[in-house]
Amino acid sequence: MAATQGMMRIDRFLWFARIAKTRGIAQAMAASGHVRLDGRAIDKPAALVRVGCVIAFVTPGGRVRALRVAALPMRRGPADEARACYVDLIENAPSMRAGVDGGSARA
């Protein structure tokens, strides 16, 4: 266990930090191959993260999120405690599709 001290499975981190609603969803995210850890695509929920790692993924709403791990959480606590475990590196809005608002599209 000494080799993994200061590290945590990515699925547990995503769940503890309240990025994913359930641990199963966090495992599915990691296994999908669409999550990047320090720029490398991962396909296993057991991939290890440590403080300073960058996790990038696309949300179901179409937003790209990049998070820097600031601390490894000890539990799945309140939202304020969870937000203290990471820093959002990208602040962006969902992609806008033409004609969604109805007023900007021209015929």
In sequence order, what are the residues at sequence separation of 6 or more whose Cβ sits closer than 8 angstroms to the Cβ of residue 50? 6, 7, 8, 69, 72
- Average pLDDT taken over every residue of the chain: 85
- Please answer whether residues 52 and 68 qualify as being in contact, where contact means their C-beta atoms are separated by less than 8 angstroms: yes
Query: Is the predicted pLDDT of residue 103 greater than 60, yes or no?
Result: no
Q: Which of the four pLDDT bands, split at 50, 70 and 90, describes residue 106? A: very low
The pTM (predicted TM-score) of the whole model is: 0.79
pLDDT digits over 15-67, tens only? 999 999 999 999 999 999 999 999 999 999 999 999 999 999 998 888 899 99
Q: What pLDDT sits at residue 61?
A: 85
